[in-house]
Amino acid sequence: MKQQRPVCMTNCPTLIVMVGLPARGKTYISKKLTRYLNWIGVPTKEFNVGQYRRDLVKKYKSFEFFLPENEEGLKIRRQCALTALNDVQKYLSEENGHVAVFDATNTTRERRETIYKFGEENGYKTFFVESVCVDPEVIAANIVQVKLGSPDYIDCSNDEATEDFMKRIECYKNSYETLDETLDKDLSYIKIMDVGRSYLVNRVMDHIQSRIVYYLMNIHVTPRSIYLCRHGESELNLKGRIGGDPGLSIRGKEFAKVLARFINEQNIKDLKVWTSQMKRTIQTAEALGVPYEQWKVLNEIDAGVCEEMTYEEIQENYPLEFALRDQDKYRYRYPKGESYEDLVQRLEPVIMELERQENVLVICHQAVMRCLLAYFLDKPAEQLPYLKCPLHTVLKLTPVAYGCKVESIFLNIEAVNTHRDKPENVGVNRSREEALMTVPNHL
């Protein structure tokens, strides 16, 4: 009996295929896209064919490996691509993955047709992302930032590595066939010119592809830093109560003054300041003496019926809810309130705008800061609600080649600890003492 080809349903898996010469930012885009999709709750995995090649060929010798006439090199590269595609198939068809990012040059129409047929045979929607770059300064910067740190060039000087890599690029140029409006009119793709100078988008087929396009049209590579901090210590922080809309404590007001001095000393060009619409963040920003924008979406997580309660009171009045939250803090929703999962969806516009902007200071709240930090540090949903974001501490995030550098700066104003770790016993029949054992001390 003939095996039926899987039908591509409306909600079927998506295969994203990178296209472009080396040093065009494909891996940068792949990693950012994977991080973003995972953060919004779409299970996504990146498959970098270059890494498959490094795993197979332990020692890289020179650009000659990539010469079109190098039959052995061609055979190895083809084998690596097929192995990666097999892993893509396992991830999307057997491991409940939703999106796979196939990161390779894929510079010939023949190679792209092979991958497209692979997608068709497995019931995937295929979306191509091509990065075209003709600006020599951008290419040179990418080589310095990324390729010189590559395992391929671990024993080379910078000059040797640059020379070899430029020759490697030449190996691909003669056979490079860019996505074409006429020849590839039936394919779904986005073509990015000079890291965002202009875009060409063709046949976007569904919601996921729309979100991918929207995201890719918002990211940039301009050097910048994002500063995240919580409001100064509040009156309710002192009492160990969650939520509410209190003002700052005496120490919280002192922190606001010290934060103003710190920001002024940084001499940050064109800094934008964002706050929530809650008193404690607004009072913190007021001390800066600069314009700031209020975002309702930056408001703290809504604790519903538990607003302004202490953890002891929640355990006393809602012991079942308290246990359920400990069992799955990311997905648990307070009665008449929100979950961390809800908060991530609420904060997506903030992430988009942070990607568009350059230097920004975000004065926010503990749960909000955890969500933003999880995006930039690529933390999974299970870890997100337990990320440490102490009061009176500024986190400086500086995007680097394939990730984010983090500096934690405590501004020397004491504050209460509001971090509660997950207790060992999360069962609904646990004792009061077991439920409250990780509650921080408060005044």
Q: What's the one-letter identity of residue 56?
A: L
Q: Could you say which of 98, 231, 365, 392 is catalytic?
A: 231
Six-digit token string for 402:
């394939």
Q: What's the one-letter identity of residue 85?
A: L
Pairing of strands 188-193, 293-294: unpaired
The answer to whether 231 is a known catalytic residue is yes
Six-digit token string for 18:
């990178």
Residue 113: half-sphere exposure toward Cβ, Cα within 13 Å: 6
Q: What's the one-letter identity of residue 436?
A: L
Q: Could you say which of 300, 338, 341, 355 is catalytic?
A: 300
Distance of CA 134 to the CA centre of its chain: 27
Nearest in space to 253 (alpha carbons), one of 392, 78, 97: 392
Neighbour count for residue 193 (Cβ, 10 Å): 15
Contact 353, 219 (CB under 8 A): no
What element of type H or E holds 143? helix 136-145
Binding-site sequence positions for substrate: 230-237, 280
Contacts of 163 (CB under 8 A, 6+ apart): none
Pairwise CA distance, residues 323 & 339, whole Å: 14
Residue 380: half-sphere exposure toward Cβ, Cα within 13 Å: 4
Pairwise CA distance, residues 263 & 248, whole Å: 19
Cα separations in angstroms, 375 against 28, 155, 203, 344, 379: 15, 34, 29, 9, 7
Six-digit token string for 155:
């024993």
Six-digit token string for 147:
């390729």
Pairwise CA distance, residues 331 & 385, whole Å: 10
Cα separations in angstroms, 281 against 91, 242, 245, 415: 43, 15, 10, 16
Angle, CA of 304, 306 and 307, to the nearest 5°: 75
Give the chain's length.
443
Positions marked active-site: 231, 300
